[in-house]
Amino acid sequence: MAIFTHMVVGTNDLERSKKFYNAALGAIGLKSVGPMGANGHMWGKEGPEFIVTKPANGLPATYANGGTIGFAAPNRKAVHAFHEEGLKAGGTCEGKPGPRSFTPTAYASYLRDPDGNKICTYCFAAE
């Protein structure tokens, strides 16, 4: 059983965020599962697991300094696709696709979404 029911990040531009996450998360097999009212949108495999929303308190969305949300990639090719599609859709690079030194099979890439939220994808399968 997973330890989280869902993850949420804020946005100041929902349409821009939808474009970015449709591209980046679509590259690793996650799909849009629809709007969350007028101010949010949801993605997942079978239901809402990741949500982007305008803050409920009406203040501007900000990102967490030191915070990162990691998504599972099915293979190394998907790690590259996540990074490439995310960049094309308005994200910025926070770490190119490649091996990570903390385990022998760790392979990842990092992006910032258009609002500055840091996300990554990891594959732990051997080549």
Q: Average per-residue pLDDT in the chain?
A: 95
Q: What is the pLDDT of residue 11?
A: 97
61 is a domain residue: no
28 is a domain residue: yes
Q: Which residues pair with 69 in a beta bridge?
A: 119
Range of the domain at 113: 7-54+68-123
| Overall number of domains in the chain | 1
22 is a domain residue: yes
Task: Express each pLDDT in 11-45 by its tens digit.
Answer: 999 999 999 999 999 999 999 999 999 999 999 99
40 is a domain residue: yes
CATH code of 111's domain: 3.10.180.10
Q: What is the pLDDT of residue 52?
A: 97
Query: Under DSSP, is residue 101 helix (H, G, I), strand (E, B) or coil?
Result: coil
Mean of the pLDDT values across residues 92-112? 96
23 is a domain residue: yes
Give the number of other Cβ atoms within 10 Å of residue 22's Cβ.
Answer: 17
- Asked if residue 1 has pLDDT above 80, the reply is no
**Calpha distance 6→97 (Å, rounded):** 25
**Calpha distance 123→127 (Å, rounded):** 10
